[in-house]
Amino acid sequence: MTYFALAYLSVIVEMHLVNKYCLELLALYN
């Protein structure tokens, strides 16, 4: 695995966590 592949994967995981967090916040406020 190259450095670029690792960086790409970490970005995807980060985006996924951020989306999950945003959805939980929305659920709290609705």
pLDDT, tens digit, for every residue of 14-25? 999 999 999 999
Tokens at 26, concatenated:
């929305």
pTM over 0.75: no
Alpha-carbon separation of residue 5 from 8, 13, 15, 18 (angstroms): 5, 12, 15, 20
Q: Can you tell me the distance from the alpha carbon of 30 to that of 26, in angstroms, rounded to the nearest whole number?
A: 6
> Over pLDDT 90: what percentage of the chain?
90
Q: What is the pLDDT at residue 5? A: 95
